[in-house]
């Protein structure tokens, strides 16, 4: 009769049986029907001869204040760090026996307890479930995850242009042609008789002649010499964004078991053609 032991115990005593990449669900968040949060995975029970996971130890603190139960591994759907029991209801968990850390469980004995728990009278008829052998197989559905880059564009203020004006003072030379009059005395020797007598006229007789000159007057007029219009133009350029992304691929060990990057363990019979194509990158 196959005995069941805790995964952490077989990790400590039979590391050669399970290898270093063995899937460990401990600490993952558990969800029940309709994705209701149950609690978390406290560990797993595995076969002592093969190391295959048969039960997940579920802390149902989300439904009950304190209760740990054994849920068949085949009911689990593992997505990243979450474990989904899509058909597991609160009534079913309530009908299960509390997990005893000190009890030595066997696969056959616990199988019979499950058959009784899932069809108990305390469970609504619509929630009763027949337990089949495949409910104890390791989960046969893997979601291979891949990160993809998404780039969004934000508009930011890349610069600010201010256009103003200021006064510049400078000296400017302007050439102006001016005219001015100068006295031009011409003396001509003559020899003609006259009836005037010397002394008849004041000896201080003078002749006055006004001399005119042009003077420059400076006036300043304001002219518009330039018009400045400020607009915007849009230039396009291509920027290359470099980042690191991850994706999950399948690994196949030498024993015919399939292990993903997180350590999820599957037998070769559980793998579909689609899984193989995705693992090969086809």
Whether residue 266 lies inside any domain: the answer is: no
Whether residue 282 lies inside any domain: the answer is: no
Domain count, the chain: 1
Closest C-alpha among 12, 4, 201 to residue 113 = 4
Q: For residue 25, what is the domain's CATH number?
A: 3.90.50.10
Residue 8 belongs to what domain range? 4-136
Closest C-alpha among 108, 33, 87, 98 to residue 64 = 98
**pLDDT at res. 36:** 92
**Res 27 pLDDT > 80:** yes
What is the arithmetic mean of pLDDT over 34-63? 88
Whether residue 188 lies inside any domain: the answer is: no
Whether residue 258 lies inside any domain: the answer is: no
Whether residue 215 lies inside any domain: the answer is: no
Whether residue 42 lies inside any domain: the answer is: yes
Query: Kind of pairing, strands 82-84 and 250-252?
Result: unpaired
Note the pLDDT tens digit of each residue in 92-110: 888 889 999 999 998 888 8
**pLDDT at res. 173:** 86
Q: Residues 160, 163, 165, 171: what is their CA dihedral angle, to the nearest 10 degrees?
A: 100
**pLDDT at res. 16:** 64
Note the pLDDT tens digit of each residue in 228-268: 787 788 888 888 878 888 876 766 555 545 555 555 555 44
Whether residue 147 lies inside any domain: the answer is: no
Note the pLDDT tens digit of each residue in 110-155: 888 888 888 888 888 888 887 776 677 655 334 445 676 677 777 7
Whether residue 89 lies inside any domain: the answer is: yes
């Amino acid at each position: 009769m196959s005995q069941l032991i805790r995964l952490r115990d077989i990790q400590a005593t039979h590391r050669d049986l399970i290898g270093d990449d063995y899937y460990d669900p401990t600490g993952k968040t558990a969800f029940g029907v309709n994705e209701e949060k149950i609690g978390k995975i406290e560990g797993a029970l595995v076969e002592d001869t093969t190391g295959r996971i048969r039960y997940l130890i579920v802390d149902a603190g989300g439904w009950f204040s304190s209760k740990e139960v054994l849920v068949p591994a085949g009911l689990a759907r593992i997505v990243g760090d979450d474990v989904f029991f899509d058909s597991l209801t609160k009534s079913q968990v309530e009908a299960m026996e509390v997990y005893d850390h000190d009890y030595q469980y066997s696969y056959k004995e616990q199988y019979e307890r499950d058959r009784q728990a899932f069809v108990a009278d305390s469970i609504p008829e619509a929630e009763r479930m027949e337990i089949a052998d495949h409910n104890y197989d390791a989960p046969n559905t893997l979601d291979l995850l891949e990160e993809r880059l998404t780039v969004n564009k934000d508009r930011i203020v890349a610069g600010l242009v201010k256009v103003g004006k200021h006064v510049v003072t400078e000296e400017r030379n302007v050439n102006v042609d001016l005219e001015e009059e100068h006295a031009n005395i011409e003396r001509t020797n003559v020899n003609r008789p006259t009836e005037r007598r010397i002394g008849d006229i004041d000896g201080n007789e003078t002749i006055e002649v006004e001399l005119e000159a042009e003077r420059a007057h400076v006036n300043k007029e304001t002219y518009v010499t330039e018009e400045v219009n400020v607009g915007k133009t849009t230039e396009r350029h291509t920027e290359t964004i470099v980042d690191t992304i991850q994706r999950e691929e399948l690994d196949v060990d030498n024993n015919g078991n399939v292990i993903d990057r997180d350590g999820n363990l599957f037998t070769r019979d559980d793998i579909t053609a689609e899984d193989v194509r995705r693992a090969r990158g086809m």
